[in-house]
Amino acid sequence: MGNISSKNDFEVNGKTVAITGGSRGMGLEVARQLAEKGANVVIIARDQNKLREAIEYTKLGALNPSQRFHQISADLTSASESVRVIDEITEWNGGNPPDTVWCCAGSSYPTLFIDTPVSQLQGQMESNYLSAAYMAHATLRSWLKPLEERKSDAEHDMLIGTGSGGAPPPARHLIFTASFLAFYSFAGYAAYSPSKSALRSLSDTLSQEMNLYAAAYPHSPPVRLHTIFPATILTESYEAENRIKHGLTKSLEDGDEGQTPQVVASRSIKALQAGEELISTDLLTGLVKNSMLGGSVRGGFLNAIIKWILAGLMGIVMVFVRGDMDRKTRAWGRKHLRVRHFTATTVAAAKMTKNYPASTPPKKQINLLRGWPNTSLLPTAQLQKASNRVYSDPSVCHPSLLYGPDPGPQSLRESIAKWLRGFYSDYYAANDDGKHADRICITGGASQNLACLLQVYSDPVVTTVWMVTPTYYLAGRIFDDSGLVVRAVGEGSEGVDLESLEKGLREGRSNEGKLKPLKSPKPWSKIYKNIIYCVPTFSNPSGKTMSLACRTQLVRLAREYDALLITDDVYDFLQWSTNPNTPDTPNKKAFLPRLVDIDRILDPIPRENDFGNAVSNGSFSKIVGPGVRTGWAEATPKLVYGLSQTGSSRSGGCPSQLTATIVNELLSSGDLEKQIYEVLQPAYRQRWRTMMSVIEKELAGLGVKAVKGEEMFGGYFLWLVLPEEVDGSVVTDMALQKENLVVAPGKIFEVVGDESVKLDRGLRLCFAWEEEDDLAEGVTRLARVVRGIMDRGGLRSDETHVRLDFKQALGEFS
């Protein structure tokens, strides 16, 4: 449907254009150049930081001050996300869907077929084809379904804004971005090129289908289909691809100088303005395209004749091109694969002498140890709004910048009490109004608060610490800094091995009355004889959840043996059903009470002046961001008051006064709950499912077991138990050495100095930090490592020579 007239068939001035993959590369340049032509631009990508940078860059090209710009973070490999994106754009655009949708999102994994992880075969189709197909489906439904559902011609005229006698509105445009490889593929692109060929086929099909609607609704905006076929685009992604690209592929591409994103965007837009549907941005691609058109649109009779002639010529040329490429491939095989075979033989011999050479091809590092949230899940826009509200109101801003009250801002204490009352409502009496601000103390986060609790409620001579193991290993240093003796107790089948714990508590009674506390008594403090530390719900690291019966009995033991239960309740809100048949609706109620709830309601109920036996250590790190460094403690009013009297709080006041004030705005506005239920729960649920599906596919058959949860799962982590002959430390070292994969061995979650609970066969995987595609790839790499170790009959940890630097892998912090 191309033409040779001077008419602009792609007028975007005043129109709304949505661009997927618009935060970098070609997509970013398309956004900028369309902004320069007067378009209102919406860019869609995953990384919120890059989105913010991209939207600012795009705005710089605005033709006039009335133009509007918007950004959306979304994973378009999900069909529901594509629908959400179109709905959000429509709402932002005054109830009108976008006039043009340009699909630029995608990625390439250029390796030889047998070297390509199986997960990438699916991943490439999801990233390149399905992301565009889902977006096209959502877009076309928003454009065409209202026409099908109209009840009358008058309603039809109202929908399209013209009567039967008027000129139809300008065309809408759906644009795909394919590749030269959709016409002619070669070695190294077996996973990538089929996804781009599928896009071309989809474009041809939809182009014909649109004739159906054009005929049925002649006065509605026609829908034009276009596909761009760029060759090499010189971007950061291209540089990353070259780091994993096979040498043969580089040889076959020799002489391809590539084009900058600016050139590709500019030539694509010019071709769209000329009315072209299948668009090439360089001469070679254009010639190859003409020889491969098949049933594709040719742009009229004259163009068809010209392209037929060119196709005949290119048919002859391509015989020589293919012959040359085949010769290069055979030559490469003779020269390099023989060397590779020799190298493999040498490696096998080296293994016989236990001399393991380092792995050769550099791979992108995948870090499944780091327990951080992916940056795309940080509520930066909501925090900015909350901050603006604080800084624009002197009555709020000025107190937030001064010393705060010891227990923290009263407003946040009240907001947290109300919020928790709603989430844990099943564990409050019906007539309880939830106004329990006196049970809340604002903290500097869970780790800082643990240290403060130990300062007030423990003594290095009298107090023994019991850590439920596997345990959050960095907590061990906090206990060590307080000079406390720490002992391990296993999780057992229900979350705590109560029998072993009670045995240890009973043995400790033999020293009662014999030990004199080092600390002098204070009216606001109490020295507990025992401290029991655990993560009852979606435990870090095991992911296990303590049963209700176990929780209840644990509180009874704490009361009997003068113990303070310190529970990290930081993952409770990040929960989802493990039943695949359960609707993916938000889970807005806790499915189990906290230990502090049980201590509050279990007979005999603590009196008003009791310290109680449980404190809930909460944090906004997992639901807002670790850098917020703000949390809360909940316990009896007396214990909370004593906590607020820690020397550091008495000296400096609330440890996070400014941030606490901003967080209160985030919480009281409802933005935090919206973030939890609309962003975090769905995202982590999908990430968990992705990782679990690959574990079941790649690892279960090797005898690796994963903690799944019976009804609900949540948090950040999965715990794996390896087969008997496989040592977790060996897997960790070999994964780094052979696959550039970082995982956490079970041994680091043991209690230092107590070997009663050993975790040699354990591994912890985090599904929160890496991109979803890398989660699947990481598990696939892990399976290769485990399989290799099992094939060799297992290895000892002293047989590997690469050691994981945990400080570096963590980014120093957890």
Active site residues: 192, 196
Instruction: Kindly state the tokens that stand for 31.
Output: 């956004």
Q: Are residues 593 and 542 in contact, defined by beta-carbon separation less than 8 angstroms? A: no
Parallel, antiparallel or unpaired: strands 575-577 and 712-714: antiparallel
What angle do the packed helices 681-694 and 772-791 form, to 10 degrees?
30
Q: Are residues 199 and 182 in contact, defined by beta-carbon separation less than 8 angstroms? A: yes
Parallel, antiparallel or unpaired: strands 712-714 and 631-634: unpaired
Instruction: Kindly state the tokens that stand for 235.
Output: 């971007």
The CA-to-CA distance between both ends of the chain, in Å, stands at: 57
Cβ partners under 8 Å of residue 403, min gap 6: 652, 653, 654, 657
Positions of E strands within 60-139:
69-73, 100-103
Count of Cβ atoms closer than 10 Å to residue 236 Cβ? 9
Positions of E strands within 2-39:
16-20
CA distance 785 to 791: 10
Tell me the DSSP string of 671-690.
HHHHHIIIIIHHHHHHHHHH
CA distance 38 to 61: 9
What phi and psi values does residue 803 have, to the nearest 5 degrees?
A: -115, 140
CA distance 781 to 762: 17
Instruction: Kindly state the tokens that stand for 639.
Output: 């214990």
Count of Cβ atoms closer than 10 Å to residue 351 Cβ? 15
Q: What residues pair up with 45 in beta bridges, in sequence order?
A: 73
Count of Cβ atoms closer than 10 Å to residue 4 Cβ? 11
Write the single-letter amino acid at 802: V
What angle do the packed helices 548-560 and 498-508 form, to 10 degrees?
0
Cβ partners under 8 Å of residue 82, min gap 6: 74, 76, 131, 134, 135, 137, 138
Looking at the chain, how many residues does it have?
Answer: 814
CA distance 443 to 618: 9
CA distance 767 to 774: 10
408 conformational bin, left if phi > 0, alpha if psi -120 to 50, beta if neither: left
Q: Which of 322, 284, 291 is nearest to 306 (CA)?
A: 291
